[in-house]
Amino acid sequence: MLGRDITGVRICWVMIAVAVCSVGIQPQSSEKNKALHPKAPELKLRIIPDKETYSVHDKVFTKTEFTNLTDKTLCFPEPIQGQAVPTSGYLMTEADRPDAQDRDRFIEVFDGVGEWPRDKLLAEIEKSWIKVPPNAVYVTKPVDAIVDLQVRGPWRLRTSYYPPEGSFNPAKYRDYLQSTAQTVGCTVPEITVSANPVTVNVVPPLGQK
C-alpha cells in the first residue's frame, strides 16, 4: 500500500510540473504567433513628386496618397511632414543618392504636446482628423520634401508614414486614441507603412553640361 501511495504522489508531482511548464510556455507561444502572423496592412502609401525631372539643387514638392485597405473607416490627424512628432503621426522623406553614398534623411525630432483630455480629443477627431472610408483614397497637400539634390543622376525618393503614438508610453497612448476614435465610428491606424520608392532624374542646371 505504501509503495502505491508513493507512486501516486510521484505521478501527481509529475502532472503538476507539466502543468507549470505549460503555463510558462503559453506567453512565449503567443509571442511567436504574433511574429508568425503579423497584422494585415491597413494603408497603402504612394509618393507623388511634382515632376519627374529636376535640376541640381531644385526644390522637390511631393504629395502622399493614402489608400484604406481595411473594411473600416480609418482616421488620423493630418500627418506632419518635416518633423517627427509621435503624438500626431508623421511622414518621413528620404532620398537615395545616385552615387550610392549614405541615404539622406530630412527630419527633426519633436515630442509634441502631452495627452489631450478625452473631451478635447473627441472634438478634435470629429472636426479635424482625416477620415478615409474602406477602399477610399486621401491625398495630402504638396509640401517641400526638403531634399537637397546635390548631384546629377537618378535619385530615389522614399516616404514612410508613422501613425500617432505616445512619446513615453506608446501602447497606452495608442489604446487611448483607439478607444476615443471608436466612439465616433473610426479606427486609428497602428502599423508603420512605406511607399514604393519613386525615381526622379536630376540634370545639370540650364546652360550647363
Residue 50: what pLDDT?
A: 96
Helix or strand run (H / E) with residue 24: helix 2-36
What's the pLDDT tens digit per position in 115-142?
Answer: 678 999 999 999 999 999 999 999 999 9
Which ranges in 37-134 belong to alpha helices (H)? 118-127
Residue 11: what pLDDT?
A: 40
pLDDT exceeds 90 at position 71: yes
Contact criterion met (CB below 8 Å) for 116 and 129: no
- Beta strands 153-162 and 193-194 are antiparallel
Reported confidence tier of residue 171, pLDDT bands at 50, 70, 90:
confident
Q: For the chain, give every domain's residue range.
A: 1-38, 39-203
Contact criterion met (CB below 8 Å) for 72 and 187: yes
- State which CATH number among 2.60.40.10, 1.10.1040.10, 3.30.230.10, 3.30.1370.60 fits the domain covering 39-203: 2.60.40.10
C-alpha cell at 89: 503621426
C-alpha cell at 116: 489631450
